[in-house]
């Protein structure tokens, strides 16, 4: 005989919620992102560290290096009860929280950053405080086709930005405005 009382129903629902994986941002010690990623890999904890290529100049040579796109952040895909193993990782400091609660990052935001990272053309970090988000747009052509984000006008170029809302940072790439469609309102991007 099945117990279908409201308390049994709530207990079943909460057990399912606990097991549900979500993406979360973890704040790391400065310049420890790659070490944290290596340790999470060893612990078999699913994670994502977006990287961008940058040319560094030394006195005798130039070298292309991969650096974290979002300094001091790494993303983990875990159920909420797996916080402790992540925080026991050397270099991991804390989870991004709001009012003491974990802030899940929507899967589509992580996926959009992955796609932009693969595209990689002049990949940059954008801070939500550094610019005013302008037109909300959808990409109609090119490697980022189907993604939604914002158009930001710069002096020499237009950039397509996908934001990770919980950390108020985004990834941007230079884009041809003709590949964009404004979402809501007018159909043409100015």
pLDDT greater than 60 at residue 11 = no
Average pLDDT of the residues in 98-116: 95
The listed range with the strongest mean pLDDT (44-53, 116-125, 138-147) is 44-53
Domain ranges of the chain: 21-105, 106-190
Q: Which residues contact 109 (CB under 8 A, 6 or more apart)?
A: 23, 162, 163, 164, 165
Is the pLDDT higher at 13 or at 135?
135
Average pLDDT of the residues in 82-90: 96
Model pLDDT, residue 185: 57
Please state the three-class secondary structure of the chain as a single string.
Answer: CCCCCHHHHHHHHHHHHHHCCEEEEEEECCCCHHHHHHHHHHCCCCEECCEEEEEEECCCCEEEEEEECCCCEEEEEECHHHHHHHHCCCCEEEECEECCEECCECHHHHHHHHHHHHHCCCCEEEECCCCCCCCEEEECCCCCCCCEEEEEECCCCEEEEEEEHHHCEEEEEECCHHHEEECCCCCCCC
Model pLDDT, residue 130: 64
Top CATH class, 21-105? alpha beta
DSSP strand pairing (158-164 vs 62-68) = unpaired
CATH, domain range 106-190: 2.30.30.30
Average pLDDT of the residues in 90-119: 95
Residue where the block lists tokens 């009012």? 99
């Amino acid at each position: 005989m099945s117990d279908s009382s409201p308390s049994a129903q709530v207990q079943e629902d909460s057990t399912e919620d606990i097991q549900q994986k979500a993406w979360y941002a973890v704040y790391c010690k400065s310049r420890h992102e790659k070490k944290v990623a290596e340790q999470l890999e060893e612990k078999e904890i699913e994670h994502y560290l977006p990287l961008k290529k940058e040319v560094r100049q030394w006195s005798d040579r130039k070298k292309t290096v991969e650096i974290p796109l979002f300094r001091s952040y790494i993303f983990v895909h875990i159920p909420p009860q797996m916080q402790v193993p992540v925080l026991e990782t050397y270099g991991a400091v804390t989870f991004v929280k709001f009012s003491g609660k974990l802030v899940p990052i929507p899967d589509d935001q992580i996926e959009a950053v992955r796609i932009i990272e693969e595209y990689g053309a002049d990949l940059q970090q954008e801070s939500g405080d550094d610019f005013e988000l302008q037109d909300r747009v959808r990409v109609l052509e090119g490697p980022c086709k189907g993604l939604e984000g914002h158009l930001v006008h710069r002096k020499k170029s237009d950039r397509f930005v996908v934001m990770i809302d919980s950390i108020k940072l985004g990834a941007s790439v230079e884009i041809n405005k003709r590949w964009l469609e404004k979402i809501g309102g007018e159909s043409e991007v100015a």
